[in-house]
Structure 1
Amino acid sequence: MASQDQGFRAGEAKGRTEEKTNQTMDSMREKAEAAKNKTYESAEAAKNKTTETVEAAKDKSYETAEAAKEKAHEGKEKTGGVLQKTGEQMRNMAHGAADAVKHTFGMANEDKDKHNTTSCRRDSN
């Protein structure tokens, strides 16, 4: 009977060991599954954050490029106006210089001479 009792106890110990092993394995599977899910969620969050950051950078680059384009256009218009005004001033100065040279050499139109003489007479009186 003692050997039956020992066999029974050995069987009980073996059963408890198997049960404990199964519980430990189940617990490890659950923890591994939880870690896997957490890793997947972290990877998805990182991917989403990266996508958002890339989109924000694209938007900012586009806005910056548009602002630069507008500034360049404004500068071009402003420069064009200045150059046009300068050109007109140079043309007027050249025309005035040509008239002065013509007047000096007596080549000016008579109408202009009469007008200039008249205005000179008015200034003298």
Structure 2
Amino acid sequence: MSSAQQNFSAGQSHGQTQAKAEDWVQSTKESASAAADRAHAAANTTGQTAERNKEEAAGFLQQTGEQVKNMAQGAVESVKHTLGMDKNQN
């Protein structure tokens, strides 16, 4: 094999290796970008779920508070009625 042919083969191998390395770098960048997108979507979904759970908990607590208040009012009215202090009594 001549010196020119060896140089050509070496240059060709170098070019192919460089192209493969560039493809690998591009593929890695795309994979990292896709992973970042998935992580962002997961974080967004988690945040939405947390907000929805927070709203549901607040509604539950408000409803429970109303029930306790109504029960306490009923107990007070019952005690007033028992003691004869009920203003609505005939």
TM over 0.5: yes
Aligned to 1:42: 42
The total of aligned residue pairs comes to: 85
Aligned to 1:60: 60
How large is the RMSD of aligned CA atoms in angstroms? 1.2
Aligned to 1:11: 11
Q: What percent identity do the matched residue pairs reach?
A: 27
Q: How far did 1:78 drift?
A: 1.0
Question: Once the two structures are superposed, what CA deviation does each residue of 1:88-124 show, in whole Å capped at 9, x if it has no partner?
Answer: xxxxxxxxxxxxxxxxxxxxxxxxxxxxxxxxxxxxx
Q: How far did 1:7 drift?
A: 0.6
Q: Which structure carries more relative contact order (alpha carbon 8 Å, separation 6+)?
A: 2
Unaligned runs of 5+ residues in structure 2 are 86-90
**Larger relative helix fraction:** 1
Give the secondary-structure state (helix, strand or coil) at the position aligned to 2:84: helix
Distance 2:11 2:83 in 1: 106
Structure 1 segments, 4+ long, off by >4 Å, are: none
Aligned to 1:23: 23
